[in-house]
Amino acid sequence: MDDFALGDDLRLRELIERLEARSATIGIVGMGYVGQPLALRYAETGFRVIGFDIDNDKAAELNAGHSSIEHIDDSAVARAVANGRFEATADIARAAEADALIICVPTPLNKYREPDLGFVVRTLESLVPNLRAGQVISLESTTYPGTTEEEIVARVEKGGFPVGKDVFVVYSPEREDPGNAHFTTHTIPKVVGGHTPACLEAGKALYAGVIDRVVPMTSTRAAEMTKLLENIHRAVNIGLVNEMKIVADRMGIDLFEVIDAAATKPFGFTPYYPGPGLGGHCIPVDPFYLTWKAREYGLHTRFIELSGEVNRAMPEYVVGKLIKALNDKKKALNGCRVLVLGVAYKKNVDDMRESPSVEVMELLRASGAEIAYSDPHVPVFPPMRAHAFDLESVPLDAGTLAGFDAVVLATDHARFDYEMIREHAALIVDSRGVWRDAAPNIVRA
């Protein structure tokens, strides 16, 4: 155990032995984009897994061998269920059966763009009465530094379990990238920080059997900050390139050509590409977790907040480009029929969390446009916390395109026929730089 001796800590030693022997039961709370792949990974490596979710229908669906997440193969779920390695339930009292409890619940922002830990807090309030000595708890939800100590450790110890002695608490941020075929759950290195040295050893044992590389951290706070840095790095660079897009457009320069040329430099440059805004469960949210927490220390994170302002303004910029293009054709947006291509937050996935496409749709609707969308990965617009559209994806063909005054490419799915779109759309607003050649009906946004 490297720098830590187990000594006479019987509970920790027995827990680690069960984890190393794969005789431990793993409980994963939250059967979403993070929880499901992790559950299947544990199951395929020989662990027994209980998947917890407050949605009874989702639990029943998983137990029937079906996942509603597009990139998760039903056969993998069915195989795990048939092997007796995986079952889903809404009964949180069964948490006592698990040797490890991994929390994978949402951590969104509220309407004031402040951290909303409601899902985490409610999960803990339901878990603590069902804890027992000898368990390890890992929080994977993205959050600000100090959350594990302030929310989990405090509640577990208030429940009568000394952390580091009876129950072991770690923070290990999720690093899922839906739709990325180059990386899977087990090939992405796993950062782990423990509340105590004993907690860290439990956390390392929890993940070492299913993840190729575990990266230990000195504290949960350092692990929490690591996750924020990863995504703030992306948010800031995307904000930079989105701002440069506006400048380049005003100057009549093709920024995509510039980025491609800059990317030929073999050192010191990483290409980022502009778009209609930020999407996904992390990048649009994480920077504001840190800016909020920094205020507690009397700090104002100006650089991070500036990039946030730029990125949040991108949907409005896209709609502004559409308005100008319509004006040039002697048309008003009010009353026009507009087709939005792609409502998922990125290409080739069905994940709509924080999708900028939806913000574009909201702005179009508010301006009086009649809107529809086409997305091969999202056949029906799903219920969302902040948005409501009673829409279904329309087929994308020449006849459909002929019925719209304009098309807004918001998400560049590979399954779109871009040549057909260019040929038959009256007006295209391209927010992803798909069409590199100039054409009379294409406006870059």
Q: How many other CB atoms sit within 10 Å of the CB of residue 365?
A: 14
Cα separations in angstroms, 265 against 253, 260, 261, 274, 319: 20, 10, 8, 19, 34
- Residue 341's nearest CA partner among 389, 376, 388 is 376
Residue 246 dihedral angles phi and psi, to the nearest 5°: -65, -45
- Residue 350's nearest CA partner among 70, 1, 75, 5 is 70
Q: Do residues 428 and 435 touch, judged by C-beta distance below 8 A?
A: yes
Strands 214-217 and 190-194: parallel
Q: Do residues 115 and 109 touch, judged by C-beta distance below 8 A?
A: yes
CA distance 429 to 327: 13
Strands lying side by side in the sheet with 337-341? 370-374, 337-341, 406-409, 428-430, 442-444
Q: Do residues 138 and 223 touch, judged by C-beta distance below 8 A?
A: no
Residue with tokens 């100006």: 302
Q: Which two tokens stand for residue 197?
A: 């040295």
Tell me which of 104, 199, 282, 336 is the catalytic residue.
282
Residue 383, SS3 per DSSP: coil
Helix (H) or strand (E) holding 51: strand 48-52
For 45, residues 6+ apart whose C-beta sits below 8 A from its C-beta are 22, 209, 210
Whether residue 282 lies in the annotated active site: yes
Q: How many other CB atoms sit within 10 Å of the CB of residue 40?
A: 23
Alpha helices in 140-280 (DSSP H): 147, 154-158, 197-208, 220-251, 255-262
Q: Do residues 183 and 213 touch, judged by C-beta distance below 8 A?
A: no
Tell me the residue length of the chain.
445
- Residue 161's nearest CA partner among 53, 11, 5 is 11
CA atoms within 13 A on the CB side of 239: 20
Q: State the catalytic residues.
A: 282
